[in-house]
Amino acid sequence: MTIFKYIVSTRDGKTKDGEIEAKDKEEAVEKLLTQDFLIISLKEKKRRPFLLSFTLGKVSSLEKIYLIKNLSLMIKAGLPISEIIETLKGMAKTKKLKKILEETKERVEKGSSLSKALSLYPETFSPLFLGLIRLGEESGQLGETTEHLHSLFLSQYEFKKTIKSALIYPFIIIFTSLAVFFSISLFLLPKLSKLFTTLGVKLPLITRILIFTMAFFQKNLFFIFLAFISLFFLYLILSKNKKIRKFFQNLDLSLPIIGIILRNINIAYFAKNLSLLLKSGMPIERALLLSLEITENEVYKEKIEKILNEVRKGKTIASSLEEFPREFPKIFLKTIESGERTGNLVEALNYLSLFYQAETEREIKDLSIAFEPLLLIIVGLIVAFIAVAVISPIYQYLSLIEKLR
């Protein structure tokens, strides 16, 4: 028998964690689902070594989007679930997803529900995904539910893509300028340095600084590389620690411009997820719990958990939000309050998600435009620094020759 550690959501919207003994993962899932739990996390108690966890394959967000869309279309067409899964398996690109779908098909053919079969893979399918699939099966509206789910995943994917696209140009400029700087300094300057030494020219201060800096990098290149690798792995290890991750995320939210952008991103995700869950007919407490579980930012996880606890006591979402003016601005609070009063909370949340997505895209675009001249100035200064450092000794040598004539 194997011991599994689990985190589940109960029917009344509460989180429960513990351990369960079963002969395999399938039996553990069976035991948890018979108690009407929604599985959020399920892992063997004996964990894999830290470094091995990075070698495991993943199903990409884009592949999940195609999976959900095709699932929705074929369910609406009236095809049997086992046939749908077989078709989806043939369309899958990664071996991991093919294997998941093959095992899912076998379980469905033995009488398992789709949500129950997919619950064996909580590391691939989020609690929101599993919760909505189960809700769709229970309500007999799996086609509509998967369509809503596809809309959410596609919206989030496009939002992330827009953010990344806006950051590509500054990254290219910085990377190119650093590449040029190090290429000239590591390959051109050593040769020029030997030439200057042969000519007996007294090097200017700026040239000596540049040569000394590059000589330091050349001599300690291995140790510098090792330091970067060590810092990278240290970051990965520390990022697993919830308290440390929360500290840095809290710090990020306090930054002048970046903090506002990060706040808007988290608000947009929260509003969109909650809107979809409520639209699908999920009770408010369970909807908030699933929103909590799929939120990646630890600061917002803490706030959403407090909001959930206040809602359980009978308070409205709007009144619970009043305690967190930094994370949820007044306009967000007032729109939620209006939606709760008029009975249009889903519409209010959907409006807020679209509004804050648009705000985030605009702010990132403005930030990128503002950075362009700054980056050009930095590149210009780097080029000027190298040019002066290289040309100054040559000019001095030519001047010396002119005097000797």
DSSP one-letter string for 6-32: EEEE-TTS-EEEEEEEESSHHHHHHHH
State the chain's mean pLDDT as an integer.
82
Q: Which of 4-13, 21-30, 89-98, 126-135 has the highest mean pLDDT?
A: 89-98
Residues 308, 334: contact at Cβ < 8 Å? no
State pLDDT tens for residues 287-315: 888 888 788 888 998 999 899 999 988 99
* 3-state SS, residue 121: coil
Q: Is the pLDDT of residue 48 over 80?
A: no
Residue type, 128: L
What mean pLDDT comes out for the span 192-197?
Answer: 70
Beta pairing class for 2-9 and 38-44: antiparallel
The tokens for 32 are 């948890």
Angle at 64 between CA 16 and CA 278, to 5 degrees: 50
Question: What mean pLDDT is predicted for residues 363-383?
Answer: 79
The pairing of beta strand 38-44 with beta strand 15-22: unpaired
Give pLDDT, residue 54. Answer: 41
Token pair, residue 53, equals 């966890």
pTM check: above 0.95: no
Query: By percentage, how much of the chain surpasses pLDDT 70?
Result: 91
Residue 19 confidence class, pLDDT cut points 50, 70, 90: confident
- Measure the CA–CA gap between 214 and 33, rounded to whole angstroms: 63
Q: pLDDT band for position 98 (50/70/90)?
A: very high
The helix or strand, by DSSP H or E, that contains position 314, with its residue range, turns out to be none
Asked if residue 287 lies in contact with residue 9, where contact means CB atoms within 8 angstroms, the answer is no
pLDDT digits (tens, 9 = 90+) for 226-281: 998 998 888 888 877 888 888 888 988 898 888 998 999 999 989 988 998 888 88
Residue at 97: amino acid letter: L
Find where tokens 């999976």 sit. 67
Cβ-defined contacts of 26-29 (< 8 Å, 24+): 26/107, 26/120, 28/2, 28/4, 29/116, 29/119, 29/120
For residue 55, the model assigns a pLDDT of 40
Residue 246: name the closest of 200, 303, 293 by CA.
Answer: 303
Tell me what pLDDT residue 101 has.
Answer: 93
Specify which residues 7 forms β-bridges with.
Answer: 17, 41
Q: How confident is the model at residue 199 (pLDDT cuts 50, 70, 90)?
A: low
Q: Is 140 helix (H, G, I), strand (E, B) or coil?
A: coil
Q: Classify residue 43 by its DSSP letter.
A: E
Q: Give which of 181, 182, 186, 184 is closest to 215, Cα–Cα.
A: 186
Q: Does domain 160-405 have CATH number 1.20.81.30?
A: yes
Domain at 61-154: CATH code: 1.20.81.30
**SS3 of residue 4 by DSSP:** strand
For residue 379, count CB atoms less than 10 angstroms from its CB and return exposed for 0-12, middle for 13-18, buried for 19 or more: middle
Both tokens of 189, joined, read: 């300057």
Give the range among 39-53, 168-182, 257-271 with minimum mean pLDDT: 39-53
- Inter-residue contact 299 to 250 (CB < 8 Å): yes
Tell me which of 153-162, 225-234, 339-348 is least confident: 153-162
* 3-class state of residue 1 by DSSP: coil
- Residue 146's nearest CA partner among 157, 159, 135 is 135
Beta strands in 140-221 (DSSP E): none
Task: Report the Cα 203 to chain-centroid distance in Å.
Answer: 50
- Report, in angstroms and rounded to the nearest whole number, the Rg of the chain calculated over CA atoms: 28
CA distance 163 to 341: 34
Question: Token pair for residue 64?
Answer: 């999940």
